[in-house]
Structure 1
Amino acid sequence: MRLAKEKGLLKGAKASRGGPEISHLLFTDDCVLFGEATARGATILKGILKEYENCLGQCVNLSKSTIFYSSNTIKEEKEEVSLLLRVRSSSNLEKYLGLPNVVGKRKKKAFQNLLDKVSAHVDGWSCRLLSQ
């Protein structure tokens, strides 16, 4: 992903106007890939995933994968990209890695719920794991 981005083959996503482009986020056994919703972008991404499979012997489980498009992606591009990658698309990203995806007015309430959950866990840890 990094090399394709450096060569100008892929475009990442920006979290802010002045911020860097993000092409991928890696977690323990999960990853999030960012790119353009075009046939060219999908073909390049498909090639990268194939190279990953060839090099490491691991393949992406497409039945567990989902594409989320930005709101300004046109329907025809969504359909073409989904067909090329053979991955289902969704417009409803409710949870990712157990955390709520918060949009609009629900943001503050969902964030507070998350803080409450974390606080409850920390309280439980301190009672069980810390001595006086």
Structure 2
Amino acid sequence: MLKHGEHRKSAIKRLEEDPNARYLLVTSAALNDPVSYLGVRHAGTWPAASKVPQKIATAGTNIAGRLAIIGGEDDERLKTDIKTLLLERLRVPRACWEDCLVVLREAAWDRMGGLDDGLWTRASKPSKSSPSTRAT
């Protein structure tokens, strides 16, 4: 997982190059050992570095505590989690959260496609393509 990356830098390379970088993987897969120790329920929650298995912690320099996985996340649960995050944590007005979800989904597709080298930054701009042209 950490070393994967053909069209963009691998997670391990980015984590080693930027000591402030963090990685959150959201997957529908169940988490088994040793990655189960990286499991969290909510975005923005990070496992303690001391709980990260040695095999993962030693995969790169100082990466323990900067990796997390939300496992078992189906589409409905993901949408609910994003809605809650937008409304409660980011204080998006209730009337606007669905529009924000569309823009967020489009930005995620863009990053997976290599836009901005796959990085999320405050300067990132959504692409001009319509979200309706993408598979969801």
Rg larger in 1 or in 2?
1
User: If the length of structure 1 is used for normalisation, what is the TM-score?
Assistant: 0.29
Q: Which has the higher contact order (CA 8 A, sep 6+)?
A: 2
Bigger fraction of residues in strand: 1
User: If the length of structure 2 is used for normalisation, what is the TM-score?
Assistant: 0.28
